[in-house]
Chains A and B, each alone.
Chain A
């Protein structure tokens, strides 16, 4: 569904991603794991069109994304749940959700998507008139996910959804990701929480200082000796 080929992204002279190639199969959960500074967020922002690569290519169902602006990429059905949520903090919960549903395609399904979001996160419904910045961290993460669901996307990219959340909330967020997969969505999950993300994914890539050092199905990656030692601590 999504193919990334020999991607190279630089901040000035510093190469944040080098020779990164990966592919995401429709209907799967693919995780990209790695430590701080590995280039995970850079990868997501490049796919979303917020950053421009130096070289390489990104295609989504044979459409070249490098010629498109960020909003055009969003219109193809690629949504991101950004790191640190990036909510519209002085707008209400309801307004944040509606902002996700403004594209032509999303607008047709807006009522249905809103129902789905409220079903996934009932708490958002009871807080729909509250300003986004008055929500708790977990609720904000739910709102960020809900806002992306409102886009009625085909590919959802999660950037560290577990960041700064209590273990119980993390578990419920991961359960929501599984439920989204069940509705037919394809998911790219970028995480530092290696153990838990491997548990729910079909395929995984390991990024280190801007390079893919290992990839394979969840079993292959989690049974790899280096992975066990460096990331899983077993």
Chain B
């Protein structure tokens, strides 16, 4: 058998090499932008498992991000527990809440826009609940005390440490996401998105699968929440539970290409630099102009690329007609 090296393998390899050597060449500012790109790519990939694959559009994913951020930060400030452990406790907590929310919604047939509304409501409720509990910082939020360069406490001197951490998290998330979608689990999630009744009649346990997808997505999002808290060293209810992060998380997935493995990454890769760099260039002289520019980009993307950036790319290649030329056959069986 001839060994074939696919073009996509080369591309991924190049991306990885660039990813790992980037901090050696880039200044702090560009590393910061790269951290943001990777962070939002990671969050969008996590959202995509529930929103893209299973087609259940959560508009309140900040709920899980906030749970992750608050759990690890609270445990760190109060009992000095390292966020390396705290992040998993936050993940577990978010998983339980995700499972509960999923069960509650899907058991009673809440779907489509109504599921979106329930998730918005829950995230918003979390904002007010946390705001009114003084022992976890209330409206003032929590500060992550700076202890100097302490990798064992997830604190790094300079930005490179954070960069490598989120780079590894994103690589694992993308790998997990691409692995899941080629398995029975992934196919069944797609079948739910495509036609839930037909899936159920074919023997797919749609309730269990949707809950599982919610839990996986919630845990991953919460782990990202801990990273957010450690990187910015300050969190407050609106910043992590609010509509801002909720919308941002899904925006990158939708703009990049919802329901695809790489769409969320591409979305973050394209949008974050536009937002950040335009703020740097225009923010001083034409304050506000960068938001106008960003909005215009969003509107144009939605108008001309309704299937996201990757959707347009596939359309140009004519790939949309025969997606997966090797059909994922080997692994699906």
Interface positions of A (Cβ within 8 A of B)? 45, 48-50, 69-71, 74-75, 79-80, 82, 86-92, 94-95, 98-100, 102-103, 106, 110, 128-131, 134, 147-148, 151
Query: Ordered nearest first, which 4 A-B pairs have the shortest CB separation?
Result: A74-B203, A88-B194, A70-B200, A86-B198
With A131-B321, A131-B323 in contact, is A106–B194 under 8 Å at CB?
no
Interface pair A99/B199, CB less than 8 Å apart: yes
A50–B203 touching, CB < 8 Å: no
Which of B80-88, B94-102, B182-190, B278-286 lines the interface with chain A? B182-190
Q: Is the CB of B332 within 8 A of A98?
A: yes
Q: Are B184 and A69 in contact (CB under 8 A)?
A: no
Contacts A74-B201, A106-B203, A151-B203; is A129 near B325 (CB within 8 Å)? yes
B322–A88 touching, CB < 8 Å = no
A-B contacts, 12 listed (Cβ < 8 Å): A48-B200, A48-B201, A69-B207, A74-B200, A86-B197, A94-B327, A95-B332, A98-B332, A102-B203, A129-B324, A131-B321, A148-B202
Chain A residues whose C-beta falls within 8 Å of the C-beta of B197 in the assembled complex: 45, 50, 82, 86
In the assembled complex, which residues on chain B have CB atoms less than 8 Å from the CB atom of A110? 333
- Measuring CB to CB, which residues of chain B are less than 8 angstroms from any residue of chain A? 184, 187-188, 190-191, 194-195, 197-207, 320-325, 327-329, 332-333
Query: Which residue of the partner chain A has the closest CB to B332?
Result: A98
- Could you tell me if A71 and B203 are in contact, using CB atoms closer than 8 angstroms? yes
Known pairs A88-B198, A131-B320. 8 more at Cβ < 8 A?
A45-B197, A74-B203, A82-B198, A87-B198, A99-B187, A102-B188, A102-B203, A110-B333
Residues of A within 8 A of B200 (CB): 48-50, 69-71, 74
- The residue in chain B whose Cβ has the minimal distance to the Cβ of A86 is B198
User: In the complex, A103→B184 CA distance in Å?
Assistant: 10
Residues of B within 8 A of A100 (CB): 202
Q: Which of B197, B207, B332 has the most CB of A within 10 A?
A: B197
* Cβ–Cβ contact B202 & A151, under 8 A: yes
Q: A95-B332, A131-B323 are in contact. Are A79 and B201 (CB under 8 A)?
A: yes
Interchain CB contact (< 8 A) of A131 among B184, B187, B322: B322
CA distance A37 to B10 in the complex (A): 57
Q: Distance (Å) between the CB of B71 and the closest chain A CB?
A: 34
Q: Which of chain B's residues have a CB closer than 8 A to the CB of A103? A: 203
A216–B125 Cα distance when bound, in Å, is 60
Measured in the bound complex, the distance between the Cα atoms of B198 and A80 in whole Å is 9
Check B327 against A99 for contact (C-beta < 8 Å).
no
By a CB distance below 8 angstroms, the chain B residues around A69 are 200, 205, 207
Chain B residue numbers with a CB within 8 Å of A134 are: 321
Given A98-B332, A102-B188, A130-B322, does the pair A90, B202 have CB atoms closer than 8 Å? Answer: no
Inter-subunit contact A129/B322 (CB<8 Å)? yes
Report whether B203 and A88 are in contact in the complex, using a CB–CB cutoff of 8 Å.
no
Q: Taking CB as reference atom, which chain A residue is nearest B207? A: A69
Q: Check B203 against A91 for contact (C-beta < 8 Å).
A: no
By a CB distance below 8 angstroms, the chain B residues around A106 are: 203
